[in-house]
Structures are given as C-alpha cells and as structure tokens.
Chain A
Amino acid sequence: MVLNDWGLAMSGQGESLGSASQPDCATLNMPSGEFISSGFPIISRTDFSDTTFLLEIHHPVMARAARPGQFVIVIAHEHGERIPLTLADFDRDRGTVTLVVQAVGKSTKEMQANLQAGGEVFGLVGPMGVPSNQGDVKKVICVGGGLGVAPIFPQARAFKEAGAYVIGIVGFRNIDLIFWEDKFRAVCDELIICTDDGSAGIKGLVTLGIEQAARDHSDIDELVAIGPPIMMRACAETTRPLGIKTTVSLNPIMVDGTGMCGGCRVKIGDRIKFACVDGPDFDGHEVDFDDLMNRLRRYKAEEKVAQETWDKNCRQLQLDPEPAPDTPPESGPTS
C-alpha cells in the first residue's frame, strides 16, 4: 500500500471521519472503517461469460454519492494504470458499488485473473463526471450494447424512478452472453433484446430495436445509449432523421479523471471538451465519433506490448497454458 510505504502511521486509513467523539457527522453516517483511502474490499464477483465479470466493491460513501451516468477510476494494483469504468450499479443499503468489466486488454484481463471476492482493488476514486439528468422525460429509450449493457441499467432505473416510460434495448452477441435480463425487466416497461445471431430476441444490431421502438411509439423524448463508439454512432444516426434527442456516454482514454491532463478530450460540435469533467454524457448528434475512435487507438502499439509481456509471464507461471487469442486493444475505458 503506497501510503504505508512511507512507514507512517497513516491513521487516516480506514478510519472514520467521525470518531466516537464526533457524533455530529451522523448524516453521512460513517461508522469506523467506512472511509477508505486505499485497498478497497471486493465483496462479490460474478462471471457472466468468459470475458465479462462483475465486481461489487465496498465503498459506502461512494454508494451514497453515486448517480447514474457517473464513472469511477480503478487502479487494480500498485503498478496498475488508472482505468475508467462507468458505474453499473450502486447499492446504498449494502454500501457497495458495482462494476461490470469486459476483459479486452491487458489491464482488464489481469483484473479478471486476479481480482476475487475477499480481495481488494488498490485504488478506487469517484464518482466522477456530471450525473445524467432525467429531467421531465416522459418516454425514453435506453440502449446498451457490449460493454455498455451494465452501465445503461442505472440510467434506466433512474428514468423509471422519475416516472418515465422506459424502453430498454440491450444487445449481445448471442443468448449465452445475456445477463441482468431480470434487472432490466424490473425497471423497463418494454425490453427489446437484440442478438447478432438471433439466438434470442431480434436478430441484428440494437439499431433494429430502436427502429422498431420508434415505429411503435411516436412520442419518444430521449434516447440514451452506452456502448462501443461504433454502436453509439449508429444509434445517433438512427435517431437523427427522427429528431429524437440522443445522449451518449463517451469513453476516451483517461489518466487522472479530474480534468488535470486533457488526455480525455473529445470533439463535440466544433468545441473541445474534457470528457471526465464536462461529460461523460454528450449530445450524440454533435459528437465527432471518428475523432473519438482515432484517439482511442493511440496506445495500440503499447497495449500490444503490455499484452504480450503479460501473456508471456502468465505462460511462465503456467497460469495460462493456452496462448491468448488475438484481441482488440483495450480502449482506455471499459464503460
């Protein structure tokens, strides 16, 4: 643990802001042990498929602060990079936040291999970004595809809680990869599942689902989409002729996530914005997706090196007898 490396009595760690002598912070209700500085306990882990897994992490203060649309930065271990992940859920009663991770690059594969319930993540900071606004939307489509399925859930739930009619559209490659169907059904008035191979729901991309929903409902106020850039662009292009307000959650490469480096800059209309402090939600009709996809590629070569080094080390440790298949580079954040 870094803080302890100085050999200091880091009394701050794990200690509450309000000790017994300070009952006056009861509102935030932080009994001893709730304010953690480093080393965040993993409460549970669920594997949805061989690439997608869920981590539930103990952080009561964050669970209380988190709002839909926000993200966190995770540092898996002391030498780890700062990985932005959109919050997939938060439970104020359990005092936990939930992240759904797709193991696509070195860091996320390493998380998949090493992070288990009972363990901990080295760093976790957030919630970051401007929370999304449910406003007075009456009817909304919430679209999640690939790594965006989980993070669209809290948005759908928030719209439901705000009284909107919620049409959920989630896309998977095939029936085996489907997760959280019950959770979505509980907060959506309609749920459209799309699979690439037609093994469940509609056969085809989420845009087919959007077209179907738009045919059935002429009074849609807003569409919110989270997923790979290519999917979000397709959603925005589907709604553009229909004139439906479209919000997308951008996932550029980030470092600090606090507005300090500018690595996350994105082009919105003709302006440059920092996704971590100005976003991550933006008007999908204004986003320059080519620019975003370009910038997501910028550490491709390094990602490959990292991946190869890691695979090699794994093989040496005989943890990974099979050579890893060729995978796409990890886009900075895994929404």
Chain B
Amino acid sequence: MARKTIRNIPQQRAVMPVQPPDIRAHNFEEVALGFDQDAAILESERCLVCPKPACVDACPVKIDIPGFITSILSHNYREAYDIMTDATLLPAVCGRVCPQEDQCEGVCPVGVKFEPVAIGRLERWLGDRAISENWHTDSYIGSGPFKIGIVGSGPAGMACAADLAKAGCDVTVFEALHEPGGVLRYGIPEFRLPNEVVDAEIGNLAKLGIKIICNTLVGRLFTIEQMIEEMGFHAVFIGSGAGTPKFMDIPGENLNGVLSANELLTRCNLMHAGQFPDYDTPLQIGRRVAVIGSGNTAMDAMRVALRLGAKEVHCIYRRTDAECPARLEELHHAQEEGVDFHWLSAPVEILGNDDSRVRALRCIRMELGEPDSSGRRRPIPVPDSEFEFQADTVVYAIGTSPNPILGQTSGLKLDARGYIETDDDLATSLAGVYAGGDIVTGAATVILAMGAGRKAAQSIRDYLAIRDTNSVYSAAQEGLEGTVFGIDQAERNFSPVRLH
C-alpha cells in the first residue's frame, strides 16, 4: 500500500450519529451514539501512522495510538484493544470523557488541514466492542505476599488497584459511597457516560481479583495509620478525589433552592432522583434554573436540569465564552439544547421570598481587565451595573476543595490548600502511603487521575521491591518467556518489607 499522506486520506471525519438536540434535551440516553464498525475503519484510514507520533506524547498515559489504529485497519480488533489497554484501563470511559482536543487530537498533523483523526471516538468504539464481546485483560497471577489497600474507587484508585493486582498483589479498594466509580458514578451524567459502561469497565478491573468494599469511610471506620499498622496492608494508595463543593459566601446562599452541582448530580446520578418516587431520593428542579460557573460540572448540571424538566436553564459566568473552562463540545451541546448563557455576570446576592425560597439573583456586570496568574483576563465589576435575575433554583458549580476527612483523621501532611502533599513518586509523608488524582492535584481529568494511579502503582512496586520488568505492561513487545506474567522469576521478591 502506498504510504498515506495528507493528500490521499479521507478528508472528512467518519460520521458519528448524535441524538438531535430537541429530543435529547428531554431524555437521559447518550447524546453521542458512537461509531459503527464501518465508520471506525473509515476513520482509521485517516491516520497517517506517523513514525514519531505526536499524539502518543500528548496522551497522558501514552497509548500507542498509531499501533491500535493499524490493528483496527487490519481488522484485528482484539489486538487493537490489547494494545490500547496496555496503557489505559478504562477505554470506554476515556473515549467518552477525555478532553481529546487538548491532548492527542490537538497535536494530530491531520488537524492542520482537516479535522484531526477522531482518536477518542475510535477508543470508545474499541472499548464498547470489548464490553459487548466480553473481552478483558486477565494477566492475573494469583495473590502474592503483598496486601494493598486503596482508598476511593474513582479512576485514580481503580487504575492503581488494577496495576497492582496485575503485579500479583492482593488488592482491596474501599469506597465511601454505596457504589464504586467516584465521579464517573456520582458526577458525570448518564447521557455522557452511561452507568452500564462504568459498571462494565470497573467489572473488568475487578476480574483481576480486586476486592471492592463499598460503604466504607476510611478515616472514620479505620484510619490510614491503622491500615498500615494494624490491618496488615503493606502499602496504601489514596485516591479520594477533590469532592467538597465551594460556595461564594454571599447573602442568601442558604435559601431553599440553592444547591451545589455535586448535590444535584449526586441526587440524580447516584440516587436516581429522576425516578422519584420509585426511588426515594427527591430533587426539586424548579422552572427557571440559574447555574453559576461554566466548567464541565456546570455544563453537566445544566443539561441534567433540562432533562429533569426545567423550563429554562441559564448559565451565569463572570468571564466570557473565550475563557469558559468547559470542553468546547460540551459548551456546544449545552447551547444546542437551549441553555442560555449570560457572560460577564456574577451574582452578589441571592434573594428569597417570604417562604425562604429563592426567587431571584442580584447580579453585577463584569468587564475583563489584565490577565491574572492563570493567564485568563481578570473579571472586574462594573460600578452601578447591578440587575435582578429571576430564578427559582440556583446551582453552584464554581469548583471544589479537598475533602477534609483524611486530613482530620491522620497525620498525613497536607499542603496549604488542604490537598495531600506528595513527592514526585506520589509518596506522602507517611511511609508506605501514596496518593494521586484530584486529592493531590485539585480537580483535573479522568485520564490524569488514572495516570496518577498507575504512576503510584509503579512507585509502590518499587517500594515493595516487586521488581517486575516492564513486560507486564507491554508483553507483546518483550515476550513472556522466562517470566511469570512478566515478572522475572529471579527478580521476584517475596520478603515483605518492614514498615515500622
């Protein structure tokens, strides 16, 4: 076959069907319906298979993108899946929620002339195919001598758990909520990431022999110190997320009808408030909803509000669409579905009626000044520009702060803002205890959290002197001869380290 160049590849992206906005705004079915096989092959044709692929470098977990695309082209789908899952553990999730435009697709040379290769959609297609065909990687080598405790079952915790299970550790994941998945479960709504996909991907990881114990609030049921000193865990990884919602500290915040996006999303996604009273948890959505903030969480909250029957949904943001932190696709989807955006506005007070329910916001107009430390232009209030904005529900989506429980209950060193402090290897101030994901970096992304979990798993293997070769993760290249699932016989170390 002639070498592919920008001139001989299909110019147009393969079509991915989406639900029309006017219909999808009233249901919880997935918005983007995904490629079928023909579309996946057509899209794969567009990859130039660059010898020095920029996309791989731009991927936080370094998926061999040209590798799996080549396998798709040769119809070796299972092989493509194995190549992909060497690097990512949650392909059907990441294919749906990664900000590909800032990562792999952002540097794809095809994107210089046309739209970049739809890498995320290909990843999703493979991930979904794996689920429907029940593929999973099972390089499970049986329980070794090491017991690992993981706190939190979000992407960071699950990724760390999976890698350590593959290295022969006996891994137990503790989750505070009654279902695992972290933000994937309670935060990201059904129409972007169906619970079935989360179940399937986590189920796949659990097949590695990981025990998932829900309903367990670490710190209060037992402490991190107890895990190491009394419960026999040789190492602990903390991936407890950034979860605590911020409020603005303006008058009226405690009125009924004011809630955080996390509360709205949790009631809806985890507790199924949309199916009230069949499910017991209620949620009042009101007629006219104002969401403050315009990040991904705000987009999700607004689109959930529409689907729960709000007549009007408005976004109040103190900067402009150019600074809007949400993914472009999410912003477009929200606009298509009929969300009204009010840029350069910020609330200064929430006004209530006689019944202490929200009736309106008092807002102030803003203008943009000089760039601040984040590089974005700083919003400055315009004097005498206050106006009233009717709303019966106000949702805060202005960011999160670290959950205080582990800090309250352990000797872990926290940074000034309350996040867990780690070194470059993600080791915390307690011996044998590692941390990663949002609880270390602040709110970030699924793929970065997963990457942190995998990095911590590597550090834990080093710490416990499980000197596996890298072949556990790239068996295809290195070959498995002479190793037990990638761990060289001679290099296996069965003597537990002493931690105290």
Contacts and interface: CB of A to CB of B under 8 A. Distances in A.
A309 to B, nearest CB: 5
A84 interface: no
B475 interface: no
Contacts of A221: none
A262 B259 contact: yes
A298 B284 contact: yes
B224 to A, nearest CB: 13
B206 A10 contact: yes
A128 B259 contact: no
Contact of B245 (A11, A106, A130, A262): A262
B221 A79 contact: no
A261 B260 contact: yes
Contacts of A128: 217, 220
Contacts of B212: 3, 10, 12, 37
A272 B254 contact: yes
B103 interface: no
Interface in A270-287: 272, 274, 277-278
A5 B232 CA distance: 30
Given A65-B221, A79-B280, A298-B256, A28 B215 contact: no
A291 B282 CA distance: 20
Contacts of A22: 147, 232
Contacts, number: 188
Contact of A79 (B203, B272, B405): B272
Interface string B206-226: 110111111111001110001
Interface string A144-167: 000000000000000000000000
Given A27-B230, A302-B276, A260 B243 contact: yes
Nearest to B176: A258
Interface residues of B, number: 62
B408 interface: yes
B263 A255 contact: yes
A126 B176 CA distance: 9
A261 B272 CA distance: 15
B405 A277 contact: yes
A53 B473 CA distance: 55
A124 interface: yes
A262 B230 CA distance: 33
B74 interface: no
B211 A259 contact: no
B259 A65 contact: no
B404 A277 contact: yes
Interface in B267-301: 267, 271-272, 276-282, 284
Contact of B178 (A28, A38, A259, A295): A38
A18 B403 contact: no
B177 interface: yes
A333 interface: no
A255 B277 CA distance: 16
A255 B271 contact: yes
Contact of A70 (B220, B245, B263): B220
A135 interface: no
Given A260-B243, A262-B260, A263-B263, A79 B254 contact: no
Given A298-B257, A299-B282, 10 more contacts: A10-B211, A17-B231, A24-B232, A62-B221, A258-B405, A259-B403, A259-B405, A260-B266, A262-B396, A265-B247
Interface of B: 147, 172-173, 176-179, 186, 199-200, 202-203, 206-207, 209-217, 220-222, 226, 229-232, 243-245, 247, 249, 253-254, 256-257, 259-260, 262-263, 266-267, 271-272, 276-282, 284, 356, 396, 403-405, 408
Question: Shortest 3 CB-CB distances between A and B: which pairs?
Answer: A12-B211, A302-B282, A261-B263
